Amino acid sequence: MSNADKLNPNSRPIHAGPDPDLVNGAVSVPIYQTSTFSFDSTDQGANRFAGSESGYIYTRLGNPTTRALEQAVSELEGGYDGLATATGMAAISTTFLSLLKTGDHIIGTDSVYGPTRILMESHLDKFGITSDWVATEDLDNIRKAIRPNTKMIYIETPANPTIKITDLEGAGRIAHETGALFVVDNTFSSPMLQNPFEFGADVIVHSMTKYLNGHTDVVAGIILAREADLYARLKKSLLILGGTMDPHQAWLVLRGLRTLAMRVRTAQENAERLATWLQAHPAIQWISYPGLQSHPGHELMKKQMKGPGSMISFGVKGDLETAKTMINSMKLATLAVSLGGIETLIEHPASMTHAGMPKNEREEAGITDDLIRLAVGCEDFDDLKDDLEQALAKANFEVGVG
């Protein structure tokens, strides 16, 4: 294991994880592109299966490249250990299936990545697990939703796509007073900006498709557990459910992870300047960015995050057509879902990432039809501002608003 935890935050992603290759001295962790591992003898095979001898068996059960990534991210988040998964949704579904059973109840943030809520409301409901999705930025809503069978409180903050902020410490306290597990989706912050274990999280999930990989070329996820027993339960489920990670995928994420600190810093600097500029723009109806004092979660952000990140939501003056014209007019920013890559992406959640949610649920969660989500990347600020400026001018000019 490296001593990355003793380094300053900007150095840590570069050195997190085990020493790459003690045999040949490779500086980058090698890709162990193998599905299975040979045994010296039947006794050795039996011992590895029995767990009395360490060593690899079969890549669904463990692989050195994937293990290096798990150790690296786990060093960045703290906690006991991590389990890399094929996608972020595999991390979330494994967490739910592993830690909940028939009759249990979960309370979640109403504005979450659409499929997280759909998974619970339209798939796990079949197994008799019930859920309530509430505006967790007001802790009273969590308290009111508690039932005797509440076994998990699931918080996404900053939330997708509203960028609402929930008080992690407060939500964690309620979970533990209730005897429920406290699970946090930390995708929007990455470990650079928020470390939910510090605020009582029992389990953290990430879509590593986003900031941790950062290059829009891999889908991936990870589950991190605070305690050894939770890790063991999650591991047992993951290995049998099968949502584990491929070694080549792990290597790509590990490569992306090395530049996490500088990517997060550059994108955040851009987002802070763009949000300030957008807020003052006459074509903007509203904006949600926790770095702005006008954001209701601004003080909370300062308390629990190391920075406001690079996700911005906003509405433009006019109607849905104005919003669509604005989005379609962007030239540098790409019209695509996902986030956390080096390039800036723009999307329309109500018709894209969150289209699978019933309209009434979407609106109650603040995912209005006019919401435009901007995932700010690492381009030059002036290029991004110019792009937004010409798109806003085009939208306003075309519909005669502003």
Candidates 13, 62, 88, 108: give the one binding ligand LCS (CB under 6 A): 88
Nearest alpha carbon to residue 73 among 60, 91, 94, 61? 91
Q: Which residues, including other chains, have CB under 8 Å from residue 300's CB and lie 6 or more apart?
A: 165, 167
- CA–CA gap between residue 107 and residue 74 (Å, rounded): 26
Tell me which DSSP letter residue 58 carries: B
Stretch of residues binding ligand LCS (CB under 6 A), selected from 184-192, 277-285, 302-310, 313-321: 184-192
Give the residue with the Cβ less far from ligand LCS, 245 or 283.
245
Give the residue with the Cβ less far from ligand LCS, 62 or 341.
341
Binding of ligand LCS at residue 209 (CB under 6 A)?
yes
DSSP 96-132: HHHH--TT-EEEEESSS-HHHHHHHHHTGGGGT-EEE
Instruction: Write down the least CB distance from residue 219 to ligand LCS, Å.
Output: 5
Q: Is the peptide bond before 161 cis (omega within 30 degrees of 0)?
A: yes
Candidates 121, 132, 185, 370: give the one binding ligand LCS (CB under 6 A): 185
Binding of ligand LCS at residue 136 (CB under 6 A)?
no
Sheet-wide strand order for 345-347: 284-288, 311-316, 372-375, 345-347, 334-335
Give the residue with the Cβ less far from ligand LCS, 221 or 308.
221
Binding of ligand LCS at residue 270 (CB under 6 A)?
no
Stretch of residues binding ligand LCS (CB under 6 A), selected from 101-109, 180-188, 281-289, 297-305: 180-188
| Cα-based torsion angle of the residue sequence 23, 28, 34, 35 in order, rounded to the nearest 10 degrees | 120
Q: Catalytic site residues?
A: 60, 113, 185, 210
DSSP 294-363: TSTTHHHHHHH-SS--SEEEEEESS-HHHHHHHHHH-SSSEE-S---SSS-EEE-GGGTTTTTS-HHHHH
- 299-358: contacts with ligand LCS (CB under 6 A): 337-339, 353
Instruction: Write down the least CB distance from residue 57 to ligand LCS, Å.
Output: 26
- 366-385: contacts with ligand LCS (CB under 6 A): none
Candidates 221, 243, 341, 366: give the one binding ligand LCS (CB under 6 A): 221
Instruction: Write down the least CB distance from residue 267 to ligand LCS, Å.
Output: 15
Write out the residues near ligand LCS by the rule CB under 6 A. 87-89, 113, 156, 160, 185, 187-188, 207, 209, 219, 221, 337-339, 353
